[in-house]
């Protein structure tokens, strides 16, 4: 495995605000590396420093082995970038944008193939302003793939898209990765990070507060698992007896929620079902809820609203 991106002690301040506070991480070849965090956590600033669009105040960055500030031309020829808040001229057509942008690179990919690959064939003659949000993002992915890059930056790719468009984009991103490319993305959808990324860095206040695979993050930091079911005739008090300490029982109307710490010896669900059977309590609609990356995220970054 080659290291594609190496970041050490990256520091970036705007006036008195520290946007990125000594962040270090690296990205391996062929992985989808995600950065998640609340608004203002420093995700975009970090990615823009890696792209050479912003100059860090301190720290070292190597992207594809080069310093983005010094060899910005090399970087732009060998990486694809999709930015938050960028546009094409309103009346530029899809094929024209691909044709124009491919003239910027020494060895561009075939844009006609990209058009097919990204499902934009039928929109080829459509002006940029007439595209839907999802189509625009697909075009931006196509533009990012034009240099036939080793590394692709995707900044807030699916923000503002409907669920269908988002799932299409996820499939496309997986497709790109399967062709051996490395992807570094930012998102504030935890589901996106969980489904798409091999490794996730959670940023808050300019620092990385956790970095691991989504599965490990959930296993190590996931607060609890839950078993939820409904009862008709109320719950006898003795049901709660075994669930003390590590587990809690909550009754809301007909619905009962049993919460338990993660990583128990006996799975919480068998304990609950065992107890229900033993006491002969009729129940229905029983389901378990696993902690998600979102739970981990909220546990780490708190619930107060940012910005």
Partner 1 sequence: MKSLLKMTWMETKLFLREPLGAFFTLAFPLMMLFLFGSIYGNEPTPMFGGYGTIDISVPAYTAMIIATSGLMSITITMAAYRENGVLRRLRTTPVSPLVVLVSQVIVVFAMTSLGMVLLIVAGKLVYHMRFEGNAWSVLGGFVLSSLSFFGLGFILASILRTARTAQIVGMVLLYPMLFLSGAGFPRELLPEAIKKVSTFLPLTYVVNLLRGLWIGQPWGDHLLDVGVLVGMLVLGIIISVKAFRWE
Residues that bind partner 1 (CB under 8 A): 51, 53, 73, 76-77, 81, 83, 85-89, 91-92, 96, 99-101, 103-105, 143, 147
Find residue 82's DSSP bridge partners.
154
Q: Quick one: 99 or 110, whose CB is closer to partner 1?
A: 99
Residue 178: how many other CB atoms lie within 10 Å? 9
Contact yes or no for 172/134 (Cβ under 8 A): no
Alpha helix locations (H) across the chain?
43-50, 72-78, 94-102, 111-117, 133-145, 163-178, 190-196, 214-221, 268-279, 293-301
d(CA 152, CA 183): 5
Tokens at residue 279, please?
Answer: 């006491």
Q: Quick one: 91 or 241, whose CB is closer to partner 1?
A: 91
> Considering the complex, what minimum distance in angstroms separates the CB of residue 243 from partner 1?
55
Tokens at residue 95, please?
Answer: 């094929």
Q: Is residue 252 helix, strand or coil?
A: strand
> Considering the complex, what minimum distance in angstroms separates the CB of residue 136 from partner 1?
11
Q: Quick one: 4 or 202, whose CB is closer to partner 1?
A: 4
Q: Quick one: 24 or 86, whose CB is closer to partner 1?
A: 86
Contact yes or no for 58/11 (Cβ under 8 A): yes
Q: Quick one: 77 or 240, whose CB is closer to partner 1?
A: 77
């Amino acid at each position: 495995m080659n290291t594609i991106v190496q970041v050490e002690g990256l520091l970036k301040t705007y006036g008195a605000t520290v946007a990125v506070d000594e962040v270090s991480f690296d990205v391996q070849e062929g992985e989808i590396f995600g950065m998640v965090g609340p608004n203002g956590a420093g995700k975009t600033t970090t990615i823009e420093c890696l792209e050479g669009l912003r100059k860090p105040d301190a720290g070292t960055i190597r992207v594809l082995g080069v310093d983005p500030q010094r060899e910005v031309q090399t970087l732009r020829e060998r990486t694809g970038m999709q930015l938050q808040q960028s546009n094409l001229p309103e009346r530029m057509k899809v094929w024209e944008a691909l044709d124009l942008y491919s003239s910027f690179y020494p060895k561009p990919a075939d844009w006609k193939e990209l058009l097919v690959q990204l499902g934009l064939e039928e929109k080829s003659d459509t002006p940029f302003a007439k595209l839907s949000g999802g189509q625009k993002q697909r075009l931006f992915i196509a533009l990012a793939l034009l240099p036939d890059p080793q590394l692709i930056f995707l900044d807030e790719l699916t923000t503002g898209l409907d669920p269908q468009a988002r799932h299409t984009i996820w499939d496309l991103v997986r497709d790109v990765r399967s062709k051996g490319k490395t992807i570094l993305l930012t998102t504030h959808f935890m589901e996106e990070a969980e489904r798409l990324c091999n490794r996730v860095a959670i940023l808050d206040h300019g620092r990385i507060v956790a970095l691991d695979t989504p599965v490990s993050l959930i296993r190590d930091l996931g607060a609890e698992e839950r078993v939820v079911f409904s009862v008709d005739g109320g719950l006898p008090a003795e049901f709660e007896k075994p669930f003390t300490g590590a587990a809690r029982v909550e009754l809301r109307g007909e619905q009962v929620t049993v919460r338990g710490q993660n990583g128990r010896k006996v799975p919480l669900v068998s304990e609950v079902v065992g107890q229900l059977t033993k006491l002969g309590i009729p129940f229905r609609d029983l389901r378990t809820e696993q902690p998600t990356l979102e739970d981990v995220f909220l546990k780490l970054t708190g619930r107060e609203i940012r910005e």
